[in-house]
């Protein structure tokens, strides 16, 4: 599933094509979208934004298209009349005079009045977006210590969109690795310095993944590895999908396990374990 940085990058691409433009024609691949889509034809797009893994396309008449890619959805852009070659099912096509924004394979798509978004079953419950420019490490630290979050294992908490929206499986691994904390820790087991480090790294890794289109390596290491012929993961991640490979910090092998039904990776040397004196 695409994570927050990937959805924001897709939104950037879509915005270049439709933001500020009038949507002259709309095609839909889901029957339930036929009637509401008619209200958007001939209307200007005011803004394209993301909240976590959801994309919102706001129109000048007060309506918004909500979409969530889930596992298989993907946005594409093209010159109008030139659809990309793909076996995917077209779900939504927004045509300006010259360009098209195309959503394939997704099923979680709807049109809402903007006033209804505060009551949306997903949007009304998610936490702050990991890429929100107003989200500070202090806010993340405060949330880590809230009663509803502090007693949960970090492996579960860092997939919970109620905590921070936009974090998914690879970001979970990479953030916890960068902070040097074991995924089985709970926030209440961490001291103030560890909380601060974790909060700071949450934002650093999230922004880095956005800036580099999915890479989480520190810039100096990324530049060095870019000159090698390693696998995709070997030049992209510090720990994720690197089971058995040496830790980039201490050369101990990276461990893989399952937490919350999803694969996760860590270094048993760099990410301290509960057995090393952290009190439960």
Q: Which of 38, 125, 213, 262 does the annotation list as catalytic?
A: 262
Q: Is residue 89 within 8 Å of residue 104, measured between CB atoms?
A: yes
Q: Compute the distance between CA of residue 102 and CA of residue 27 in angstroms, rounded to an integer.
A: 9
Inter-axis angle of helices 192-211 and 137-144, nearest 10: 130
Q: Is residue 200 within 8 Å of residue 192, measured between CB atoms?
A: no
Q: How far is CA 249 from CA 207, 239, 253, in A?
A: 22, 10, 11
Q: Is residue 177 within 8 Å of residue 170, measured between CB atoms?
A: no
Q: Which of 3, 6, 19, 174 does the annotation list as catalytic?
A: 3
- How would you classify residue 181: left for phi > 0, otherwise alpha for psi between -120 and 50, otherwise beta? beta
Place of tokens 């909500």: 66
Q: Which of 8, 53, 236, 248 does the annotation list as catalytic?
A: 53
Q: Compute the distance between CA of residue 207 and CA of residue 110 in angstroms, rounded to an integer.
A: 28
Beta strands 108-113 and 43-51 are unpaired
Q: Is 233 a catalytic residue?
A: no
Q: Which of 2, 5, 128, 187 does the annotation list as catalytic?
A: 2
Q: Is 2 a catalytic residue?
A: yes
Q: Is 3 a catalytic residue?
A: yes
Residues noted as catalytic: 2-3, 53, 262
């Amino acid at each position: 599933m695409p994570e927050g940085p990937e959805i924001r990058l897709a939104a950037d691409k879509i915005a270049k094509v439709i933001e500020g433009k009038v949507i002259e024609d709309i095609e839909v691949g889901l029957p339930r979208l036929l009637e509401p889509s008619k209200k958007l034809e001939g209307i200007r797009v005011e803004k394209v934004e993301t909240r976590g893994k959801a994309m919102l396309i706001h129109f000048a008449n007060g309506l918004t298209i909500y979409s969530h890619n889930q596992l298989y959805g993907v946005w594409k852009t093209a010159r109008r009349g030139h659809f990309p070659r793909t076996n995917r099912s077209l779900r939504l096509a927004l045509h300006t005079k010259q360009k098209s924004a195309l959503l394939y394979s997704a099923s979680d798509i709807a049109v809402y009045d903007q006033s209804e978004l505060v009551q949306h079953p997903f949007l009304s419950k998610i936490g702050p977006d990991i890429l929100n420019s107003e989200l500070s490490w202090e806010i993340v630290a405060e949330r880590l210590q809230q009663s509803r979050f502090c007693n949960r294992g970090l492996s579960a908490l860092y997939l919970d969109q109620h905590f921070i929206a936009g974090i998914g499986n690879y970001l979970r691994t990479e953030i916890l690795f960068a902070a040097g904390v074991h995924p089985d820790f709970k926030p209440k087991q961490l001291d103030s310095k560890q909380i601060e480090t974790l909060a700071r790294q949450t934002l650093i890794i999230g922004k880095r993944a956005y800036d580099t289109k999915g890479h989480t390596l520190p810039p100096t290491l990324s530049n060095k590895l870019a000159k090698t012929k390693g696998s995709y993961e070997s030049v992209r991640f510090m720990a994720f999908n690197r089971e058995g490979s040496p830790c980039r910090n201490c050369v101990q092998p990276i461990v893989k396990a399952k937490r919350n039904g999803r694969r996760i990776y860590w270094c048993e040397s760099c990410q301290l374990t509960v057995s090393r004196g952290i009190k439960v």
